[in-house]
Chains A and B, each alone.
Chain A
C-alpha cells in the first residue's frame, strides 16, 4: 500500500518538494543531535556570558560579507597562553623581587570596517601586589598612542572600547589634528583604527587604516614568581554562519537544535492528539448510550474553554520545560472538536454491512474497533494530521514569542523572542529575526504541501483529476 501511495504522491510536485524539505530537516536534526549532544547544547545555551566571551555581540553571519562589497571583520584573538606568531611575552626578573613584564601583540588588519569591540583579558598570579603596566597602541603609520596605565588583576580585563576617559582624550587629540569639531561621539574602535582625515567627521565615511597594528604593554611585577598572561580580542562584526545574539551566543546552535525540537514537538503533538481523539470518537460512537453522552458533554465543555488563553494562564504560572509543555498541550486538546468529527465518521462506518457481519460472527468490541472501524477511518485523517504539524510548531513558537514556554531551551521561537526583546527590528539586526523565521517557514510550508497533496489522495470526496 505504501508503494502505491508513494507513486501517487510523486505525481504531485508540491508533495515531492515538501517531502524533500522534511527529509532535509530530519537530516539537520540528526546532525544536530549527533554533533552537539543535548546536554552540551543546553549547557552552552544556558551558560552565562562567560562561556561566550570570545564571540562578538550581535554579529552578523559571515556570508553577509559576500553580499556587501565591504569586507567585514572577523574576530581576532591573540593569546599569550597559546603561542603563535605575533604574540610575545617576557617576564624577566631584574633585581630582587622585581621583574620586567613586556607583552606584545602584533597583527595585520585589512578589513573595510571597524571592529565592534576591543578587549584585553588578563590572568596573573601574584600574592598581594599586582603588576603594573602601561598599555600602548601602535598604528600602521607608526603612531604610538598610550592607552592606559593599569594594575593587572588576577583575573579581569581592560575593556579598551569602553574606556570613556581614553575616548575623550583621543577625540580632543583628533579635533586638534583636524582643526575641526567632531559632531558625533567617535567610538574608541574607530579612533584606534581610522585614517585620520576629513572622512572621519562623518561616521558613514570613516576609513580604516589598513596595515600592521601592535598592542604592547610594558611594566613591572613586584613579587617573585609572578606570571602574567594576556589575551587580546579584537571583536569582529561577523561570526559563523548564523551570527550571534545579544549574549554573544552562536545562533547556529539555536537554529540547528531548534530543528529536532520543533519537529518532534509538532509531530508528536499532531499524531498523538489525532490518535487519541480518534480513539475517543470511536469508543463514543461504538458503545453509544451513556458512554457516548458523557463523552459528548465533556467534549462540549472543553470546546467552550478557550485553548490558547488557558494554555497561557497555565504557562505564566508554571515555567514549563518544553516536554512538559507538550504534554499539557496534548492533555488540553484531547477532548477537542476533532472528537465530534471522528465520532460522526465512526457513526457512519458502524452501519456498514461488514461490521454487522463481524458482530454476527461474534467478534468482540475491541476487535471490531481495531480491525474494522479504525483502519477504515485512519486514511482519511492522515492529511489533517500532517497539516496540523505546522500549527503545533507555530503554537510553540507563539508561546515562546509571548515570553512563555521554556526559557532555557534553544528553540526558534525563543530566538525570535530574544530578538524582539532586544529591538532587533529597530537596530536593523534583521538576520536575527529572519533566520529562525526562515526555519519556521520551511518547516511549516513543507508539511503543508505534503498535507495538501495527501488530502487530494485520501479524501474520498476529492476524487478529481
Chain B
C-alpha cells in the first residue's frame, strides 16, 4: 500500500504546483496584465464624480473644491479596493485569494439574491450546469456502453455498419444541432421553449417547478444526445472490438463460458479503468458548462456565467470560475490515478 500512497502524494504535489501556475496565468490574463485596471479605474472615477456632482449636499460649491473632493474620494476608493498599488503586487494577492477560494466580490455581476459575493454567484449557477450536463453525460455514457458492447459482438451486421456510417455526424457540435432543434421545435412547431431553465413566472409548487425544468432541459439534452451518441457508440464499439480480439477473450470462449459472462468479465472488466477514467474526466470537464451551448439555450449555468463575465470584464468572477475548474480537474486526475490503481491490480501490486 505504501508505494501507492507515495505515488499519489508525489503526483498530487506536482499537480498542485501546476494548479498554482495555471491560476496565476489566469489572473494575469483576466486582468490583461493590469490593463483592466485602467478600465476599472476609469469607471470608478466616472462613478465618483457623477455621484458627487449629483449630490444635492454639494451643490453650489466652488469648482476647485468640488474637484478636490472628487479626487480625494476617488483616491480613497482606490485605496479601499487596493488599486493604489501596482498590478504585479496585487496579482499575488489575487493568486493567494483565489487558491484559498476566498473569491471576493464581483465587479459588476450580482446573484439572483442580490449578493455580490463571487462564491454565491457561482454557487447559485453551478447546480444548474451540473444538472444539465451530468444528465447528458450519463445518458451518453450508457447509450455508448451498452450499444457499443452489443455491437462489438455483432461485427458486420447492419446495425454495426450503420454505426460506422453515422459516426461523422458527430463532427457537428451539440450547440449546432441545438440551433436547429430550436428552429424546429420552438420556432416552427411552438412545442418547446426557446431557452432558459424555467417558465416565467416559475411555478410555485415543487412538481410544477420540476416539470418546468424538465421541459426546458429537453432540447439542450437532446441536442447533445443527437450530436454525440454516434461517436460515442462508434468509439466504444471499436474499443470493445479491439479488446474482444484479445487472446484471453478467445480462450474464455474456448472454455465454453456463456456469452454474457464473457462480455462482463473478459471484455468489460479489464477495460474498465480507461473507460471510467475517460467518463469521469469528461464529466468534470462538462461541468465547466459548455459555454456555447449554455449561451445558445440561455441556460443559467456557469458556462453562460463565464460568457457574461467575459463581456463585462468582471475579473473576480472569471478568476473564481477558472480556479474552481482547475482545482476540480487536478483533483479528478488525482482521484482517478488512485482509482485506476485499485482497478488494475498490475499497478497496485507495483509490478
Do the two chains touch directly in the complex (Cβ atoms below 8 Å apart)?
Answer: yes
User: Any chain A CB within 8 A of the CB of B310?
Assistant: yes
CB–CB A425/B18 < 8 A: no
CB–CB B176/A312 < 8 A: no
CB–CB A317/B18 < 8 A: no
CB–CB B187/A426 < 8 A: yes
User: Any chain A CB within 8 A of the CB of B307?
Assistant: yes
Closest approach, in angstroms, between the C-beta of A165 and any C-beta of chain B?
A: 36
User: What mask results when residues 125 to 165 of chain B are scored 1 for a CB within 8 Å of chain A, else 0?
Assistant: 00000000000000000000000000000011000000011
Q: B residues within 8 A CB of A53?
A: none
Q: Which residue of A lies closest to B36 (CB)?
A: A317
Interchain CA distance A273-B241 in the complex, whole Å? 30
Q: A residues within 8 A CB of B101?
A: none
Q: A residues within 8 A CB of B306?
A: 309, 312
Majority DSSP secondary structure for residues of B touching A: helix
User: Any chain A CB within 8 A of the CB of B183?
Assistant: yes
Q: A residues within 8 A CB of B325?
A: 306, 309
CB–CB B330/A445 < 8 A: no
B residues 24-50 in Cβ contact with A at 8 Å: 25-26, 29-30, 32, 35-36
Interface residues on B, range: 35 or more
A residues 279-323 in Cβ contact with B at 8 Å: 297, 300-302, 304-306, 308-310, 312-314, 316-317
Interchain CA distance A404-B238 in the complex, whole Å? 38
Q: Specify which of B168, B322, B330 is in contact with A306 (CB 8 Å cutoff).
A: B322
User: What mask results when residues 232 to 266 of chain A are scored 1 for a CB within 8 Å of chain B, else 0?
Assistant: 00000000000000000000000000000000000
Q: Specify which of A313, A391, A441, A448 is in contact with B318 (CB 8 Å cutoff).
A: A313
User: Any chain B CB within 8 A of the CB of A191?
Assistant: no
| Given A312-B306, A398-B175: A425 and B183 interface contact (C-beta under 8 Å) | yes
CB–CB A305/B176 < 8 A: no
User: Any chain B CB within 8 A of the CB of A447?
Assistant: yes
User: Any chain A CB within 8 A of the CB of B292?
Assistant: yes
Q: Which residue of A lies closest to B291 (CB)?
A: A308
CB–CB A309/B22 < 8 A: no
User: Any chain A CB within 8 A of the CB of B180?
Assistant: yes
User: What mask results when residues 28 to 50 of chain A are scored 1 for a CB within 8 Å of chain B, else 0?
Assistant: 00000000000000000000000
User: Any chain B CB within 8 A of the CB of A204?
Assistant: no
Interchain CA distance A425-B188 in the complex, whole Å? 9
CB–CB A437/B179 < 8 A: yes
User: What mask results when residues 234 to 247 of chain B are scored 1 for a CB within 8 Å of chain A, else 0?
Assistant: 00001001100000
Q: A residues within 8 A CB of B222?
A: none
Which has the most chain A C-beta neighbours within 10 Å: B168, B180, B183? Answer: B168
User: Any chain B CB within 8 A of the CB of A63?
Assistant: no
Interchain CA distance A465-B156 in the complex, whole Å? 9
Interchain CA distance A402-B172 in the complex, whole Å? 17
User: Which are the 6 A-B pairs with shortest beta-carbon distances?
Assistant: A448-B168, A448-B171, A390-B171, A304-B22, A444-B171, A425-B187
Taking A316-B313, A440-B172, A451-B168 as known contacts, 4 extra A-B pairs with beta carbons closer than 8 A to each other, sorted by chain A number, are A300-B15, A306-B288, A310-B29, A445-B171
- A sample of 17 inter-chain contacts (CB < 8 A) reads A18-B168, A297-B17, A300-B18, A305-B25, A306-B288, A310-B322, A312-B291, A312-B310, A313-B30, A313-B310, A394-B173, A394-B176, A398-B175, A401-B292, A433-B183, A449-B168, A451-B168
Interface positions of A (Cβ within 8 A of B):
14, 18, 297, 300-302, 304-306, 308-310, 312-314, 316-317, 387, 390-391, 394, 398, 401-402, 416, 425-426, 428, 430, 433, 437, 440-441, 444-445, 447-449, 451-452, 461-462, 464-465
